Structure 1
């Protein structure tokens, strides 16, 4: 990423995926930042953003349980490429943080004229309890401008605020199209150990695993300017709880001999590597996991002894595959490296489904992270699980619980005879229709909230189960997936019902004065409220059918079949 990409004139291109939510430029910029810099998924990013007026300068709120911090975000975009941010905006932001610093101040927000979304966030995140338990309020100020000298001096004396200006964002942004790193050679001393060496079956990579001297690690180039960590997901995050624990261990010489027992290790990707004469030489290298550790070690390098060693993995790639670099980086930075999905990937059901997909042209079924597939439409088993949980089990309020798909919900989702490749494809194609109609929803933030499409999939599921032809398709008695004309016509019918009836009624509901403060984030996860909303839409659809303002699935299907016969 280049700084020019953050100029106001270029932001429209960067923020294109977020503009459909009809947020302001600064809110869209914040949304982009939360997903691409802060590392949140799309649902979580939406959940923490406070949309609307009277937000008291609080654009987003996040509770970091690990570091016991309440993080307040504020985003500011400027139109001039030469505009700078001084200390005035930061001092005002410091005042914003004070609004959450005490129980009394939080109560003032709850009782005052702050917008309802902010009040709900304060309540849902249990901020009063967090403050009572000693959580510290920190601020993250995001801008596409550059910080001036006044801002730098102010930040030096105020550790509660972290500034992500144009320069900082570019510095920490992970550009997987450019591997980056250090274009140099470095030599590790491994005379104390015999490194484990192996190659992947496809010879795409060769790996060495050993305990490296910390004194070697801190001598690598690119630590001070962070170029060594250009692919690292987290980079050096400063004085975090984790870094404080690392520092504490470094300062205690008695802990050095045990350090490798409880440290996750360092991962290095390089273009060149060889092991000879008790040394491993690497060339053009980048650290993709371990920026925090190496930075902390570097800052405490005077306290390092020869007993301080760290488990290190060197990966020499024999490919230019950017996607592989991204997968290694993302997965090596995942603190729960083995996920339930991985544990289930070789399970009989998943392998059976994968085999079934192989006999159907145009579709691929992904059961493992990092799996290489063909050119068909790729459906991951994670997405399949979310779709089936909604379409079959009628639980759209749990669609955001991705971590449970292969854990608590696994058996009831996949462990059924009705679940086969064709059923997954049917559900996938219906969801594709839903996604294509989302822009017709007037409330854009709700339209593109990730749970909304699953709610509409649920409504379609209900409509199908109450219709003769729809039910035949729903129960697999009528196989339409194998016939391209049939599946195309069915998708057209679903699109017609959504556009002409369901979304029209949904828009009317959202415009109702009683729903002016519609809390779509909460409703999307609340069983009772979501059931109530779906019942309203289904009742209106039934009324439309009786009045001749809607055409049922069966009615349209009969017309199609007469025309095709």
Structure 2
């Protein structure tokens, strides 16, 4: 059965038929849901296909990777498609560079998503144009793709517009489909043809090693580069094409010095559970690249040019490392020379290490994860495992009262790190924030037990932090301490003791719904377009949440039969003034 037939069969399900008008939309929705791992609410929110879609079928803004996916889908049973779909992608790229004009002539759904894109541009997100198809490009279309890739690379060098274009054709779509059917940590088994390579096969410290100069045109064929599955054991994923080093790599590949790439580059390190070498065929099982993620993603962004390069090599080191702990050490140490994110740089900060020591000393069953890619030992209680990145997001939402920037990891660990992370921060408060947020996330699921607005559910990357913020504000308002922040440990203890945790979460969820509804009906100056994603990232969302909570408490006190509920709530929320402190500035 072809990938076209498989998808055609899957999109006959009620979910696709009831929510999307035609097979073209259903195909794009299938891709978002299965490949980009959007849930059903996020998928529905991302689809922009329809009249006046301006050749943009879907937009996904990934705040974690700071990446904008602009997607054009072609669902066809034919073997080949010409360059027309690529020209449609090019058209969307040209129009995207003038967002104001594009927004004026696009459909209502696209207008809202473009407002979200504009905000992402302000935060210097990159753009990845993706053509997804169940067919293959003709030879002439492949030439056009190469031209487009070069054009985007040149523009990224000369202008403040970092973008790439990717082709997800029949073969790549099939591979990603099969990958999606596997576990969350899929295993990549790959055979690399070394016929045109210069290599040696040796054993060091009881470990099989293959070191070689591998042609880039063979490297670009390796599975799992674009979707990141090849880098599962790496300490970080791609830093993007705007990275200075990556720009230089791309310049070399597209310039006349490409034959010197081997001498300019430090090399790539890959590990696998097992590898066999026979007749110049290197068979690898459980393949993962632990150093070279940036380079391989940059090489992939120039794939059509790279496929034609002769005498252009990169140094590759392949190690057979079945031991997980040893693999992790190799990953960490081989990445020490590269520029990393602020979060990575803070992992060994004395304040962070002190918080880790205090937390694990207080909670023997717990574990404080400080490094990206680190995994808690299996004997630790998952309810007492906290990640440094998550803690930073919790702190800025609760103590700085700025959940609208909780999604911005770079700001937290760069601009606001000194303010947020204090050596004397109590481990009890760390765990209380952990428990509040863990419990909140149990309700932010597709079944929607809180009856959250569908738009809120589509913003799971950042809206739950507003829910955490709303809980803190409910305690502050109830104690007439609107300008101060409650101590997390006391709030959790009060709510848990009174068996009111679930009730408070439900109440604040209702307030979130009210705040969004109020914002959506507010008159926008200059005939602007209301974007829920931009609202949730603005300070105005905080004002709306505060008002909704104050209104909820006031109404509860006047509701018929609500006296007992009101009294129980106020008794639970009651705190001593000494358990409040002024918020940490983060503006």
Fold agreement, TM-score > 0.5 = yes
Determine the structure 1 residue equivalent to 2:393: 386
User: Structure 2 length normalisation: TM-score?
Assistant: 0.64
Cα 1:298–1:31, aligned 2, differ >3 Å: closer, same or farther? Answer: closer
The residue number in structure 1 matching 2:32 is 31
State the secondary structure of the residue aligned to 1:538.
Answer: helix
Q: Is the 8 A contact 2:441 2:464 kept in 1?
A: yes
The residue number in structure 2 matching 1:284 is 284
Alignment match, 2:171 = 167
2:440 corresponding residue in structure 1:
434
Which of the numbers 400, 403, 412 marks the counterpart of 2:419?
A: 412
Alpha carbons of 1:376 and 1:225: their partners in 2 closer, same or farther (altered >3 Å)?
same
TM-score by length of 1: 0.66
Of the three residues 177, 183, 192, the one matched with 2:186 is 177
Q: Is the aligned partner of 1:367 residue 2:378?
A: no
Report the equivalent of 1:537: 548
Equivalent-residue separation in structure 2 for 1:107 and 1:507 (angstroms) = 25
Post-superposition shift, 1:401? Answer: 0.9
Give the one of 130, 135, 146 matched to 1:147: 135
Residue 464 of structure 1 and its aligned partner are, at CA, apart by 1.0
Residue from 136, 156, 160 that aligns with 2:142: 156
Q: Shift of residue 383 of structure 1?
A: 0.3
Structure 2 counterpart SS, 1:315: strand
Residue of structure 2 equivalent to 1:202: none
Aligned match of 1:352: 354
Q: Secondary structure at the match of 2:465?
A: helix
Counterparts in 2 of 1:408 and 1:188: CA distance versus 1, 3 Å: same
Contact 1:6 1:166 in 2 (8 A): no
Q: What residue in structure 2 maps to residue 59 of structure 1? A: 57
CA distance in 2, matches of 1:519, 1:488: 38
Displacement after TM superposition at 1:441 (Å): 4.7
Q: Please state how far the C-alpha of 1:52 moved relative to its aligned partner.
A: 8.2
Write the distance in 1 (CA, Å) between the matches of 2:511 and 2:208: 55
CA contact (8 A) 1:441 1:447 kept: no
- When structure 1 is superposed on structure 2, of 391-400 and 324-333 the one drifting more is 324-333
- Pairwise CA distance, 1:190: 6.5
Check the 8 A contact 1:361/1:376 in 2, yes or no: no
* Match runs of 1:312-323 below 5 Å: 312-319=316-323
Give the structure 1 partner of residue 431 of structure 2. Answer: 425
Match of 1:475 among 483, 487, 491: 487
Q: How does 1:94-133 map to 2 (within 5 A)?
A: 94-95=87-88, 97-98=90-91, 101=94, 109-115=102-108, 116-120=111-115, 124=119
SS in 2 for 1:393: coil
Q: How many angstroms does 1:47 deviate by?
A: 10
1:120 is paired with a residue whose SS is helix
Matched, 1:448 2:458: yes
Q: SS of the counterpart of 1:177? A: coil
Distance 2:258 2:168 in 1: 33
Q: Is 2:530 the counterpart of 1:518?
A: yes
What is the Cα deviation at residue 339 of structure 1?
A: 3.4
State the SS of the aligned residue for 1:74.
Answer: strand
1:491 aligns with 2:474: no
Partner residue in 1 for 2:7: 7
* CA displacement 1:184-228 (0-9 Å, x = unmatched): 99996579xxx99779xxxxxx6979xx663xx2399x7585469
Distance 2:43 2:99 in 1: 22
Task: After TM superposition, list the pairs within 5 Å mapping 1:170-249 onto structure 2.
Answer: 170-171=174-175, 176-182=185-191, 214=213, 217-218=214-215, 226=222, 232=230, 244-247=250-253
Match of 1:458 in 2: 469
2:541 partner SS: helix
Q: Quick check: 1:207–1:316 contact (8 Å CA) kept in 2?
A: yes
**Root-mean-square deviation (Å):** 5.7
Encode CA deviations 1:42-67: one digit per residue, 9 max, x unaligned.
9x999987588743331346999xxx
Contact 2:406 2:462 in 1 (8 A): yes
CA distance in 2: counterparts of 1:503 and 1:460, whole angstroms: 11
CA distance in 2, matches of 1:119, 1:248: 31
Q: Is the 8 A contact 1:434 1:453 kept in 2?
A: yes
Task: Measure the CA separation in 1 of the matches of 2:406 and 2:130.
Answer: 30
SS for the counterpart of 1:405 is helix
User: Which of the pair has more CA radius of gyration?
Assistant: 1
The aligned residue for residue 277 of structure 1 is none
Q: In structure 2, what is the Cα distance between the partners aligned to 1:138 and 1:399?
A: 24
Contact 2:216 2:309 in 1 (8 A): no
* TM-aligned CA deviation for residue 162 of structure 1: 5.1
Describe how 1:319-334 pairs up with structure 2 within 5 A: 319=323
1:294-339 per-residue CA deviation (whole Å, 9 max, x = no partner) reads 98777433x45xxx7x5544332133x5x99799889989995543
Q: Distance in 2 between matches of 1:183 and 1:103?
A: 39
Offset from partner CA, 1:151-171 (integer Å, 9 cap, x none): 535623532475423422234
Are the aligned partners of 2:397 and 2:469 in contact in 1 as well (CA < 8 Å)? yes
Partner SS, residue 55 of structure 1:
coil
Q: Give me the whole-angstrom Cα distance separating, in 1, the residues matched to 2:572 and 2:257.
A: 79
CA distance in 2, matches of 1:383, 1:156: 43
CA contact (8 A) 1:390 1:399 kept: yes
Distance 1:331 1:8 in 2: 46
Question: Is 1:505–2:514 an aligned residue pair?
Answer: yes
Contact 2:432–2:489 (CA under 8 A) maintained in structure 1: no
Check 1:155–1:282 CA distance in 2 against 1; reply closer, same or farther (3 A cut). Answer: closer
Counterpart CA distance in 2 for 1:122 and 1:72 is 10
User: Structure 1 residues 459, 231: closer, same or farther in 2, change over 3 A?
Assistant: closer
Instruction: Indicate if the aligned counterparts of 2:366 and 2:381 stay in contact, CA closer than 8 A.
Output: yes
How big is the shift at 1:8?
A: 4.2
